[in-house]
């Protein structure tokens, strides 16, 4: 019975639509600072660093009202976690993960905030997935890191 449930859930995942929202400013293979998820504070962020025209920059993707976050190591990613999301932030439309989280929420909080399932794969880091109300890019800043 467990195998059947697993197969059904994988089928549902594979039919979900990945809608592209943002492409990284440089390929993640060119990052000079490995990407990491900082879940501290009210606005969790994926940070990364890169060089462009011999200048070091830091950037990131910040999320608003995060309910869940997951990092899947590169060695544990399936094609689903890479295809269409390599260096691209996407929204997983009609996400089963969002439905599960909403179902588990306190009833009087359900539907108060729109929730989105965001996903991005970055080379050497893996696949970041976040359920949040919204996202934004950090302003590109020059960095002292070399």
Chain center to CA of 76: 15
Cα–Cα distance measured from residue 66 to residue 134, given in angstroms and rounded to the nearest whole number? 8
Residue 108's pLDDT is 86
- pLDDT one-digit tens code per residue, 5-39: 444 444 444 468 999 999 999 999 999 999 999 99
> Is the pLDDT reported for residue 132 higher than 60?
yes
Domain limits, the chain: 17-142
> Is the pLDDT reported for residue 2 higher than 60?
no
Query: pLDDT averaged over the chain?
Result: 88
Residue 12's pLDDT is 47
Cα–Cα distance measured from residue 44 to residue 53, given in angstroms and rounded to the nearest whole number? 29
Residue 11's pLDDT is 44
Residue 62's pLDDT is 97
**Tokens in use for 115?**
């929730």
Among 11-20, 26-35, 45-54, 89-98, the least confident range? 11-20
Cα–Cα distance measured from residue 132 to residue 123, given in angstroms and rounded to the nearest whole number? 23
């Amino acid at each position: 019975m467990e195998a059947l449930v697993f197969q059904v859930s994988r089928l549902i995942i594979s039919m979900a639509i990945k809608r592209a929202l943002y492409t990284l400013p440089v390929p993640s293979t060119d990052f000079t600072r490995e990407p990491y998820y900082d879940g501290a504070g009210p606005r969790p962020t994926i940070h990364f660093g890169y060089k462009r025209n011999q200048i070091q920059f830091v950037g990131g993707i910040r999320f608003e009202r995060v309910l869940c976050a997951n990092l899947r190591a590169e060695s544990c990613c399936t094609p689903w976690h890479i295809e269409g999301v390599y260096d691209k932030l996407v929204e997983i439309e009609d996400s089963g993960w969002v439905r599960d989280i909403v179902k588990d929420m306190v009833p009087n909080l359900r539907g108060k905030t729109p929730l989105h399932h965001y996903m991005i794969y970055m080379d050497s880091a893996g696949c970041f997935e976040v359920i949040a109300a919204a996202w934004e890019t950090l302003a590109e800043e020059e960095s002292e890191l070399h």
